[in-house]
Amino acid sequence: DDLTAFIYAMPKAEMHVHLEGTLEPEMKFRFARRNGVTLPYQTVEEMRDSYNFHDLQSFLKIFYEGKTVLLKEQDFYELTYAYLTKAASQNVLYTEMFFDPQMHTDRGIAFSTVMNGLTRAQADARKNLKIDSQLVLCFERELTAESAMKTLESALPYRQHIVGIGLDSDEKNNPPDKFRDVFARARKEGFHLTMHCDLNQFDTHEHIRQVLEDIQADRIDHGGNILERPDLVAIAKRRGTAFTVCPVACGWLRENGENINIIRGMLDRGLKVTVASDDPAYMKGDYVAESLIVAQGDANLSKQDLLTLARNSFEASWISAAQRKTYL
Ligand code: ADE
Ligand code: ZN
């Protein structure tokens, strides 16, 4: 309908997508075949049927199985180029893409193999598809702070290709403060900072507080439980913290027996919220436009709300003021 067409056509930016989460089943089979990797599925349908998870931990188990087919620079290139092609087709003008190097270096793949594939795809997409992009390196938070620091140091030679540092994976017993020194170093090296505070995780309010007050990150990925804490909302508003919310992954909060839509709640409180897709290949194949359509239906968003979300996505981005002006 009219709003759907409006959503696809609206110029937008995406601030929360995991490149490894854009590995579509067909591509996973193709890479497996050419790399001689055996998958525990015979068909695309069987693979899709296996994508039934009910919480962060069960999602991560399925998500980490996918990485085994990513081996060569060309795999990382094609993965990234396919995502950028899809994003450009939805009028995404600019995107900041998460990648988790530890998922690959821990299997013996060189950091340079990953970086060369990603950055070559970015350059080709910039030229051929008119979509600009930057990379955000995420640490896996169940690994040690020492491993994160080593990863940060191996990223320093590539700093012109990496705009920020993030934190993802299993939050249980892995609070942001575990990485306080690593993030302090990252900030000193000039990186922007963002951190996942996924919905209803262990100690979630304390995790959000640490991101806001101890780490003082620029953004929070998800962060929906902040709506339960007016004191934390006040801090985020004062600091101008942005929130990248993924309605296909987790769009609703349950409060006093009532379902609160997170995007509606953040808009109503004047928080800088943006909508993104998270891991589209594992989440029904919904990319950012489909995520906005879901949000529109769930939160009854008006055209004005949709334009606010699009504007927020550019305002939350880590591009220069001059480049931002060309989009707004
Ligand atoms: N790694 C990849 N996707 C993730 C997500 N949505 N939450 C936490 N860690 C992730
Ligand atoms: Zn995420």
b/e string for 40-67 if b means 16 or more Cβ within 10 A?
Answer: ebeeeeebbeebeeeebeebbeebeebb
Quick one: pLDDT band at residue 256, thresholds 50, 70, 90?
Answer: confident
Judge whether residue 73 has pLDDT over 90. yes
**Is the beta carbon of 16 within 6 A of some atom in ligand 1?**
no
In the predicted model, what is the mean pLDDT of the chain? 97
Report which secondary-structure segment, H or E, holds 306: helix 303-315
Query: What's the 36 CA to ligand 1 centre distance in angstroms?
Result: 27
- pTM for the model stands at 0.98
What pLDDT does residue 49 have?
93
What pLDDT does residue 177 have?
98
pLDDT digits (tens, 9 = 90+) for 279-326: 999 999 999 999 999 999 999 999 999 999 999 999 999 999 999 999
Where residue 54 sits, what CATH number does that domain have?
Answer: 3.20.20.140
Q: Whose CA is nearest to atom 6 of ligand 1?
A: 278
What pLDDT does residue 237 have?
98
Most distant CA pair in the chain, distance? 53
Is 214 assigned a ligand-binding role in the annotation?
no
Which whole-number Å values give the CA distances from 312 to 38, 160, 199, 231, 269, in the listed order? Answer: 43, 25, 21, 22, 14
- Residue 309, in any domain of the structure: no
Among candidate residues 257, 200, 194, 189, the one with its CA nearest the CA of residue 227: 200
Judge whether residue 67 has pLDDT over 90. yes
- Residue 301, in any domain of the structure: no
Among candidate residues 264, 306, 265, the one with its CA nearest the CA of residue 288: 306
Task: Dump the DSSP string for 241-290.
Answer: -EEEE-TTT--EEEETTEEEEHHHHHHHTT-EEEE--BSGGGTTT--HHH
Q: What is the mean pLDDT of residues 162-178?
A: 98
Which among 60, 139, 245 is the best mutation to test ligand 1's pocket, defined by most ligand atoms within 8 Å of the CB? 60
Q: Whose CA is nearest to atom 8 of ligand 1?
A: 169
Is 196 assigned a ligand-binding role in the annotation?
yes
- Residue 256, in any domain of the structure: no
Judge whether residue 47 has pLDDT over 90. yes
Residue 203 tokens, joined:
């100690």
Is 16 assigned a ligand-binding role in the annotation?
yes
Query: What's the 296 CA to ligand 1 centre distance in angstroms?
Result: 23
**Is the beta carbon of 169 within 6 A of some atom in ligand 1?**
yes
What pLDDT does residue 290 have?
98
Judge whether residue 1 has pLDDT over 90. no
pLDDT digits (tens, 9 = 90+) for 270-291: 999 999 999 999 999 999 999 9
The parent domain of residue 7 ranges over: 2-225
Residue percentage of the chain with pLDDT more than 70: 100
- Residue 153, in any domain of the structure: yes
Count structural domains, the chain.
1
Q: What is the mean pLDDT of residues 185-194?
A: 98
- Residue 159, in any domain of the structure: yes
**What is the distance between the alpha carbons of residues 323 and 320, in angstroms, rounded to a whole number?**
5
**Is the beta carbon of 140 within 6 A of some atom in ligand 1?**
no
What pLDDT does residue 230 have?
98
What pLDDT does residue 66 have?
95
- Residue 254, in any domain of the structure: no
- Residue 169, in any domain of the structure: yes
Judge whether residue 62 has pLDDT over 90. yes
**Residues within 5 A (CB) of ion ligand 2:** 278
Which among 279, 283, 286 is the best mutation to test ligand 1's pocket, defined by most ligand atoms within 8 Å of the CB? 279
For residue 246, give the ligand 1 atom closest to its CA: 6
- Residue 296, in any domain of the structure: no
Which among 198, 202, 284 is the best mutation to test ligand 1's pocket, defined by most ligand atoms within 8 Å of the CB? 198
**Is the beta carbon of 171 within 6 A of some atom in ligand 1?**
no
What pLDDT does residue 255 have?
85
